Amino acid sequence: MTLPIYQIDAFTHQRFSGNPAAVVPLQEWLSDTQMLNIAAENNLAETAFIVPATDKVDFELRWFTPAVEIDLCGHATLAAAYTLFQHLGFNGKQVSFSTRSGVLVVSREGDQLTMDFPARAPEKKPVPIEILQALGIDSVQYSGLSRDWLLQLNDEQSVADLNPDFSQLKRVSDQAVIVTARGQQYDFVSRFFAPGFGVDEDPVTGSAHCTLTPYWAEVLGKPELQARQISSRGGNLTCRLDEDRVFMTGHATTYLIGSIEI
């Protein structure tokens, strides 16, 4: 069986930056094992699979890391929408996806794509010392938990300088870890570590901003924020909190169009 595949760099104008995601359009679902094997072979943070829907949404969407299926992924959703708009002739102003996190909508205006995602505000909670040790830090300004740990450090440079022990972090945490600080040129910066899910460091993480946005909106007292994830590839997002939803705007560009054999 031959399947099309697209590799898209999300949350960036420039190829070779942002977060790469693979998108595999299907007519019907493969087995979970087949999709996980494809994701593992791609060895990207996420591979998105889309199938035409028969209900009130346009497509069904699922996301796989090289190790597991996950419940929410921002950059691969952006990549899936971009693929539909740019390469597969989807003509609407917005596209809707049925997912494990409910219905997600991506709208387009010019070359910008805006995702409508659920807000996942953190609840304040002490972070285990073992996680701090794995990250190589002694203390944090704030620690809380939603789906992922959220840790605020003193400044942007402290976030940039992190050099985690990923083997240790995988042993001591079942959750991914978001580390953030106020930015110098942006409202806030962040990095995202998820070795337990097969991704040591994710370059630009839309789902993390479902937690970062409500947190920083409260801290800074404003609903719209400019964010940058300061991984080695890096990427930018405009984030807006609207009650229990987070709207994330970014760009994408195509790296690869091909086919795979299974």
Active-site residue list: 46
> Could you give the 3-state DSSP secondary structure of residue 251?
coil
Q: Which parts of the chain are beta strand (E)?
A: 2-10, 19-25, 46-52, 59-64, 69-70, 94-99, 102-109, 112-118, 123-124, 142-145, 149-152, 177-182, 188-194, 199-202, 224-229, 235-242, 245-250, 252-261
CA 54 to chain centre: 26
**Spatial distance between the Cα atoms of 146 and 70, rounded to a whole number of angstroms:** 15
**Spatial distance between the Cα atoms of 229 and 18, rounded to a whole number of angstroms:** 9
Residue 58 phi, psi dihedral angles, 5° rounding: -80, -40
Alpha-helical segments (H) within 87-160: 129-135, 156-160
Of 144, 164, 143, nearest in space to 153 by CA = 143
